[in-house]
């Protein structure tokens, strides 16, 4: 799952423009490991493994050292779910259903059974 994070609405309490290099993005994965996403007000991240990710943003004021302004921080939770599909399979033209039976004659079986999953759709 690819997500775009946007912090352009952040405001520096001193009304100064926040430099792009003062936006720090990272996430904490399900094992508690921190991974850097990027620097800047807008970043993209791709989460390949299902799980819960805690995405953190730290924004530093452009004049923090002189005015005693603290970093701004925000955290958001991202849930990545496994891919699912509605699986539909036909055997020699007969739809196979859960807990159902498809009868294929001896002559068909001798010629071979063709399985067709082309009707399967992602959910």
Q: Give the total number of structural domains in the chain.
A: 2
What's the average model confidence in pLDDT over 28-57? 88
Q: Are residue 24 and residue 52 in the same domain, yes or no?
A: yes
Domain of 105 in residue numbering reads as 85-122
Residues 73 and 108 in one domain: no
CATH number for the domain harbouring residue 65: 2.60.40
* Same domain assignment for residues 13 and 63: yes
Neighbours of 82 (CB within 10 A): 7
What is the number of other CB atoms lying within 10 angstroms of the CB of residue 60? 18
- The answer on 13 and 65 residing in a single domain is yes
Same domain, 52 and 89: no
The whole-chain average pLDDT of the chain stands at: 83
Q: What is the DSSP letter of 101?
A: -
| Model confidence pLDDT, tens digit, residues 81-97 | 877 777 788 887 878 88
pLDDT digits (tens, 9 = 90+) for 66-122: 565 678 899 999 888 877 777 788 887 878 887 777 777 777 777 777 877 777 776
Q: 73 with 96, same domain? A: no
Report residue 64's pLDDT band, with 50, 70 and 90 as the boundaries. Answer: low
Residues 76 and 90 in one domain: no
Q: Judge contact between 33 and 51, C-beta under 8 A.
A: no
């Amino acid at each position: 799952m690819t997500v775009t994070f946007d912090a352009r609405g952040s405001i520096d309490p001193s009304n100064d423009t926040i430099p792009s290099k003062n936006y720090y993005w990272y996430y904490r994965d399900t094992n508690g490991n921190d991974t850097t996403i990027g620097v800047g007000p807008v970043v993209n991240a791709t989460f390949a493994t299902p799980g819960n990710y805690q995405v953190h943003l730290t924004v530093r004021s452009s004049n923090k050292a002189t005015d005693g302004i603290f970093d701004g921080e925000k955290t958001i939770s991202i849930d990545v779910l496994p891919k699912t599909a509605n699986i539909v399979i036909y055997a020699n033209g007969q739809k196979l259903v859960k807990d159902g039976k498809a009868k294929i004659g001896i002559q068909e079986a001798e010629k071979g059974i063709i399985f067709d999953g082309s009707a399967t759709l992602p959910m």
